[in-house]
Structure 1
Amino acid sequence: MSVQLGVSGVALIPQATGYGVLIGLGVAFCGVILGAVKIQKAYLSEDSGTSEMFMVANRSVGTGLTASAVFSSWMWINETVFSAAMCYKFGLAVPFWWATGLCFQIALMAALGVLAKIRVPYAHTSLEIIRMRYGNIGHVVFIVLNITNNVFGCASMILTGSQLIFGISGMHFVAATILIPIGVVLYTAVGGLKATFLTDYLHTTIALVLIIYFTFSVLTHEAVGGLGGLYDKIIATAGDNIIEGNYKGSLLTMKSENAIIWGLILKFGNLALVVMDTAFWQKSFATEVKATVPGYNLAAVAIFGIPWGLGTVIGLTTRAIHNTAIFPTYPGEFTLAQVNAGFVMPYTIKALIGDHGIVAFLVLLFMALTSTISSSMIAVSSILSFDVYKTYINPKASDKRLVHVSHITVVIHGIFITGVSLALNYGGANMTWIGYFRPILSCPGIIPLALTLCWSGQTRLAAIISPILGFFTGLSIWLGTAHAIYGEINMTTTGASLPALYGAIGSFFSPALYSVLISQYKPYKFDWRQFLVIEITEQAQLEESGKSSDEEKDGNNSSSSEKTRTDTKSAAISNPEKDSDIENDATNTSDQKSPSDIAITKAALPKNVSLDDVCHPFNDDTLRELHRWYRIAWFMFAGIVLVSFILWPMPLYRDYVFGKTFFKSWTTVAIIWQFFAFFAVVVYPLYDGRYEILKGVRGVWNEGKQRFSSH
């Protein structure tokens, strides 16, 4: 649930405090990253001046840091601020359904990420894979889908954050909108993807400490009286807090129609935000072979406790105290507009913790916003530099030139996304409506994108047409359902939950049917080895441009990692002496390919290289390990879906109101899960990266000693 524009709340802190937090944290993070980048380059041989390091962190990120980065990128404002608001509206079922709507997408990306390593071991973006298989038209279609999804998601978060800051401090939303992304632009442009991994870790650490702090501070306040006191207060005020659609109108039941509908919409929308976001693909490309599946699944399990624990405690506590003298709006009414604006959490923190609690809330808000924005910056800059600039503007661009363009596009995207957020503010857009529309727009590409790696039978035509048809199918269902239920089509009726749910379902599932049917027209089987050959071709083009470019020579001299990648990819040709004509190869396999796909293959394959001469750059042991992790990833995905969708919540969807003992046990488990998240994505990354940390510390220490001795 996102902010409703035009809502002003009670000013909880002075404007100066808001400016100080935003500017101070932005400068602090820039300083930390500049120092970290310098240490990486000096002591860990990690140079963000190469495209491999800038875009995919040299494909060397371990399990702990992967889990922390994925967790941070997925810990949006929604999981904290708005899970509490929705719990206030519909009861304790919402935070649980919210938690189940965050896990399976990350588990799915673990499987797709490992498969990408097997099929396309040196990819930079998911769109690069699309272009390799389907050509430029398919590439452009998915560029539009990816960037639109990214812009809608990122702009809505900036808009939501600026409106929250405006509501609690009185700071003008234009100032907040500009200040939120500006620091992220600076450190992302300098440090690249590895910088976002490092800042994601800092975001995660600070945010989890604050989340645990808020949970315990609220529960232990004398006005709440712990879990038992909270339950007693909810029961005592039950007559004033009747929730339509809940069993007996209770806040303490899992049988809630609005909660389960919201949970389903959230699942489809979040699936699009993950699979159609290049940032999550890039993080999987950046991981070590052994780190993708455990890192992603650790984050998937850890994220469960955030909306469940925090949302339940804050949302129900607000219900218990919103009509008491300590609440900021008392004796006035706490309106639905203020609830939808996300003021549930800051008002409760103000009432129970005070001014220092609101400052801490602003810090948490900054952490959630900037982790999302930094991930978006790298994703979009990679699309614009690698998928647009290198593909269509300057195919012979050197490695150094690509990094330079990436820096520029980070800044461009930062300016653009700020402008979009301001336009939405001034245009009076209803962000709830946009949140409902986003799955309809973004979901059609999910299945065709997954099938690009999973099914060799999906044809080029199917991949191009099925997302377009899926979008129009979802749009038709959305508008048709709104008219059928409410008798008219307008912003109000299309912003209702049922039309949005049915539209999202149609938008998500129909492309699967379209893809299968369209693929029966001129069917063929794609040879996965073509991915490897195309990668070899592109690397050869980069080398050729380097021979005639002084700029590229300079870039190559400073980049040992790029040379290693080149040598590895060259080794993928197992028998370069064999003289094989590409025309014969295409002719021999023409019974399996459509004419258009043969044309793509001819254009992609280098001269004198046959598919029979290409082997995978990974050795047999590494490939066996990847296939093992691939199987494990699907087992994990199936287990998470089975437990979180069916075995756990479905038995509770019945005529039952939580008793006191059950409620205390339920919430205690949710709070314990927060501590599990802390150890999984804060403590474990320190242990996992202990050698790199020690190496960096030793380097700084030794250099400091040398400088001190010289003086």
Structure 2
Amino acid sequence: MSFILPQEIGYLIFIGGGLIMTVLVLLLIFVDTKWLGTRKTYEWFSTAGRNIKSGLLASSIISAWIWAATLLESSTVAYKYGIGGPFWYAAGASIQLILFAVIALELKKRAPFSHTFTEFLYLRLGKFGHKVFLLFALLANFIVTAMLVLGGAVALNTLTGIDITIACFVIPLSIMIYTYFGGLKATFFADYLNTSLIFAVILVLVTSIYFFNPQIGGITGLFESLQLASVINPVEGNSGGSFLTLASIGALIFGIINIIGNFGTVFVGQAFWQRAIASRPKSLIKGFFIGGLVWFAIPFVLATSIGLAGIALHLDLSSSEVSHGLVAPITISTLLGEVGAILILTMLFTAVTCAGSAELVAFSSLFTFDVYRTYFKPSASGRQLMRVSKYSVLAFGFGIGFLSLSLFSMGLNLQYIYLSMGILIGSAVGPISLSLIWKKTNKTSASLSALFGLLAGIFVWFFSAYTLYGDISVSSTSHDIPLLLGNLTSFITGFAFVILGSLIKPDNFNFNITKQRIVVVDERVRSLIKEDNDETLLKKRTLFGYKYGIIFTLVLVIIWPLPLFFSGYVFSFDFFLFWILLSIIWTVAAACFLIFKPLIESKREISTVLSNLAILLRSKVIFRTNRGMLLSSPHSTVNSTLENSTGTNYKRILVAVDGSMPSIRALDYATHFFKSDSIIYALYVIEWSDDSEENTEYDTELLKRVEKEGRLILSSILIKNSRRCERIVKVGDPANRIIKTAHDLNVDIIVLGMRGLGHAGDFGHITRKILSKSNKPVLLLN
């Protein structure tokens, strides 16, 4: 069998791409920690410091929701059902993100310090309920990751010939490296890079299909080819057998299955709870709403173009190729040759690494908090939690390769797993949601309803397959009707029994318990959470979420598609043209927002990084003394720096002290070098997250304690020569506080050690920032 690409290209994209992504992410982490002052704690690893804004949150949500199935299965349903397939894929997997935002905000209100949703359920439902929903969460985790790896492995094998066994281990390897080092914060960085790349590739592919490919003949040629295909090979259950209609029984059945299954993977998947926990409450609703609407564009435009192009080309695909999700790679390769194959593999790589990394961190959090800390070592320190998290990333990464290979050996393909996942985890959606929003939810009925719903869903699935097709096998259980009945039974039963049990024997749970008993290791993060937990703000956001969540849901799954379904309308050319142009415009707008919104929100951090880079690259005016060097700041003149270098004209001197030897020498030097009638301000800054734009207010009790520690450190430093010296303690970002204090005190010069505690380079990142932003002369001492 000949393959479109050599194996070397496949390895280059997945292994080489993984290494490149790792280098980029590690570079971004270096910048974040060294120049932006972020500290690597366990909260940083597992929750990204809980300070993610809406633009980056939306980007990360999209990334976690771009599975291999998003690129492969969506094109398959377009190939099978026509234009209705990708619409129901897009609409049926967008509304969950929008509705989930409201439930996630309830978690912020009920348990603001939680790291996982099951950590909350441990207190809400007890040990039995915790174990039940932990199993569902892990099951969702395994299903999603197995789909990612299996879909990518089969496509990689089809295009390059790389053995599926090898591919099932190569793909997790490309994800594990940067996740191991960077945790959730690395995932957010990688998500932005990967989703931006995916949208760029999508626009290239779509533009090529609709406007530049002679085999398709533009939008007009595609429309005519679809009309011809509808006559030659009409679709059973579609209005007039046409591919150009939303009046499709098959597409509607798929849409219902898709909606139920994706409720399970979002509401039961820790990857999405992780992102909600990492975000600021005021960013959560906006980020998820935007994420859902932007993600809608991907299957809407990509699957429509690729799936319909596959029909227009009259590709002779086997049922096995269709069920394994190979419509997209084969169609793109037929249209664009090797270039198309490389593009689709690149998209698959980014999709697998994005969502795969999210699932790795999700498993790591579940295992660390809900297994290790809950049942083995409740007193574990942040360092121990970090170590367990990293080891669990490696264990899960290697283990998922074996799981994916086992599923493939059993004959389970991407389509089968995707359509059956709602049966396996859909019954947990109702109990989880009601446990968060309804204090009367009975903990026993919540746990049992999830289990009973699972068993009932499987029973109906198998029984209907046996009744309709005569046996229970992979083949019989993969048909639409058994899958539909199994999904509906599991989902509805989970809701019905928890409601019934809670009405018969209601609980009266006090949610203050979950607020008080879940703790955060990092006290700075605890302070930030307390500041964000404004009940008035949360109430407004919740009402906004319920209102517009319902509106968006009604528009996407009822108001838009159902009139077209019940009318039996077959698209005219004008309406088809409008539909295609709408999908392209939606995608362009989504891409622009996705790329530029996070950059706009991070303009201050970007400015800081660029300033530090400028310091590294540009030449500096340096006047050396016998023990130090005087650097002019960007706003100082060279002449004034040189004229004042003797120290005779400096009356007010600010010396930054952090306890390091260079800072102690700087203070000692200042007491000797400057005139005796000058004033020395010894400043000690306790490093803390500093967000002046947000008017951050710190935890008062904690603030008093750390200020007291700072005064003790300063009082232990002796000032020679009986100089007039004032000791000052500040809390916040060291560079910002030094610059602001120098300005407030109107000092003549700032004196610093060249390096602070633990820094081995020529200059510390705090020093670089001060040189970049301060308009005061700065004297550096070795």
TM-score by length of 2: 0.77
Identity %: 31
CA positional deviation for 1:387: 1.0
**CA, structure 1 residues 497+296, in 2 after alignment: closer, same or farther (shift >3 Å)?**
same
Q: Secondary structure at the match of 1:11?
A: coil
Q: Distance in 2 between matches of 1:697 and 1:120?
A: 38
Letter in 2 for 1:202: L
Structure 1 unaligned segments of length 5 or more: list them. 1-8, 324-332, 543-561, 570-616
Work out which of the residue numbers 681, 686, 691 in structure 1 matches 2:599: 686
Which residue does 2:539 correspond to in 1? 627
**CA, structure 1 residues 132+707, in 2 after alignment: closer, same or farther (shift >3 Å)?**
farther
Which residue does 1:386 correspond to in 2? 369
Q: Distance in 2 between matches of 1:96 and 1:406?
A: 39
Matched, 1:74 2:65: yes
Work out which of the residue numbers 567, 573, 577 in structure 2 matches 1:664: 577
Matched, 1:295 2:287: yes
Work out which of the residue numbers 448, 458, 472 in structure 2 matches 1:489: 472
Matched, 1:193 2:184: yes
Q: Distance in 2 between matches of 1:315 and 1:568?
A: 47
CA positional deviation for 1:218: 1.2
Taking only aligned residues, the RMSD between alpha carbons, in angstroms, comes to: 2.0
Which residue does 1:327 correspond to in 2? none
Q: Secondary structure at the match of 1:354?
A: helix
Contact 1:196 1:375 in 2 (8 A): yes
**CA, structure 1 residues 705+383, in 2 after alignment: closer, same or farther (shift >3 Å)?**
farther
Q: How does 1:631-670 map to 2 (within 5 A)?
A: 631-653=543-565, 654-670=567-583
Q: How does 1:48-127 map to 2 (within 5 A)?
A: 49-127=40-118
Which residue does 1:226 correspond to in 2? 218
Matched, 1:137 2:120: no
Q: Distance in 2 between matches of 1:707 and 1:348?
A: 57
Contact 1:218 1:353 in 2 (8 A): no
Which residue does 1:505 correspond to in 2? 488
CA positional deviation for 1:239: 2.5
Which residue does 1:591 correspond to in 2? none
CA positional deviation for 1:15: 1.1
Q: Distance in 2 between matches of 1:237 and 1:430?
A: 27
Letter in 1 for 2:350: M
Matched, 1:377 2:373: no
Matched, 1:696 2:679: no
CA positional deviation for 1:222: 1.7
Contact 2:280 2:532 in 1 (8 A): no
Deviations 1:130-153 (A, max 9, x none): 002122211111110000111011
**CA, structure 1 residues 510+289, in 2 after alignment: closer, same or farther (shift >3 Å)?**
same
**CA, structure 1 residues 381+491, in 2 after alignment: closer, same or farther (shift >3 Å)?**
same
Q: Distance in 2 between matches of 1:565 and 1:191?
A: 18
Q: Secondary structure at the match of 1:303?
A: helix
Letter in 1 for 2:204: Y
Which residue does 2:423 correspond to in 1? 440
Letter in 2 for 1:33: V
Contact 1:241 1:319 in 2 (8 A): no
Q: How does 1:353-502 map to 2 (within 5 A)?
A: 353-502=336-485
Q: Distance in 2 between matches of 1:417 and 1:698?
A: 43
Q: Secondary structure at the match of 1:396?
A: coil
Q: Secondary structure at the match of 1:523?
A: coil
Matched, 1:563 2:523: yes
CA positional deviation for 1:390: 0.6
Which residue does 1:30 correspond to in 2? 22
Matched, 1:210 2:197: no
Matched, 1:43 2:35: yes
Deviations 1:176-206 (A, max 9, x none): 2111111311111111111101101111000
CA positional deviation for 1:433: 3.2
**CA, structure 1 residues 153+566, in 2 after alignment: closer, same or farther (shift >3 Å)?**
closer
Is the helix fraction higher in 1 or 2? 1
Q: Distance in 1 between matches of 2:492 and 2:615?
A: 58
Q: Distance in 1 between matches of 2:312 and 2:584?
A: 19
Q: Secondary structure at the match of 2:72?
A: helix
Contact 2:223 2:573 in 1 (8 A): yes
Letter in 2 for 1:21: I
CA positional deviation for 1:337: 2.3
**CA, structure 1 residues 507+626, in 2 after alignment: closer, same or farther (shift >3 Å)?**
same
Deviates more, 1:419-428 or 1:495-504: 419-428
Is the strand fraction higher in 1 or 2? 2
Q: Distance in 2 between matches of 1:59 and 1:388?
A: 22
CA positional deviation for 1:568: 6.9
Contact 2:78 2:304 in 1 (8 A): yes
Contact 2:155 2:329 in 1 (8 A): no
Deviations 1:335-356 (A, max 9, x none): 2322333332222222322212
CA positional deviation for 1:485: 2.6
Q: Secondary structure at the match of 1:353?
A: helix
Deviations 1:283-320 (A, max 9, x none): 01111121101111001111111111111111111211
Deviations 1:2-26 (A, max 9, x none): xxxxxxx851111111111111101
Work out which of the residue numbers 230, 234, 237 in structure 2 matches 1:238: 230
Count of equivalent residues: 622
Contact 2:101 2:285 in 1 (8 A): yes
Letter in 2 for 1:262: F
**CA, structure 1 residues 655+289, in 2 after alignment: closer, same or farther (shift >3 Å)?**
closer
Contact 1:241 1:251 in 2 (8 A): no
CA positional deviation for 1:522: 4.5
Letter in 2 for 1:436: L
Letter in 1 for 2:104: G
**CA, structure 1 residues 151+707, in 2 after alignment: closer, same or farther (shift >3 Å)?**
farther
Contact 1:39 1:700 in 2 (8 A): no
Q: Distance in 2 between matches of 1:18 and 1:501?
A: 37
Contact 1:10 1:167 in 2 (8 A): no
Q: Distance in 2 between matches of 1:505 and 1:131?
A: 28
Contact 2:79 2:307 in 1 (8 A): yes
Matched, 1:248 2:240: yes
Deviates more, 1:24-33 or 1:224-233: 224-233
Structure number with higher relative contact order (C-alpha < 8 Å, ≥ 6 residues apart):
1
Q: Secondary structure at the match of 1:308?
A: helix
Query: Could you say which structure has the larger radius of gyration?
Result: 2
Structure 2 unaligned segments of length 5 or more: list them. 623-761, 764-782
**CA, structure 1 residues 19+56, in 2 after alignment: closer, same or farther (shift >3 Å)?**
same
CA positional deviation for 1:229: 1.8
Work out which of the residue numbers 287, 303, 319 in structure 2 matches 1:311: 303
Q: Distance in 1 between matches of 2:110 and 2:537?
A: 14
CA positional deviation for 1:684: 1.4
**CA, structure 1 residues 478+427, in 2 after alignment: closer, same or farther (shift >3 Å)?**
closer
CA positional deviation for 1:619: 7.2
Contact 1:91 1:316 in 2 (8 A): yes
Q: Distance in 2 between matches of 1:64 and 1:663?
A: 32
Q: Distance in 2 between matches of 1:33 and 1:322?
A: 43
Deviations 1:571-615 (A, max 9, x none): xxxxxxxxxxxxxxxxxxxxxxxxxxxxxxxxxxxxxxxxxxxxx
Q: Distance in 2 between matches of 1:289 and 1:18?
A: 41
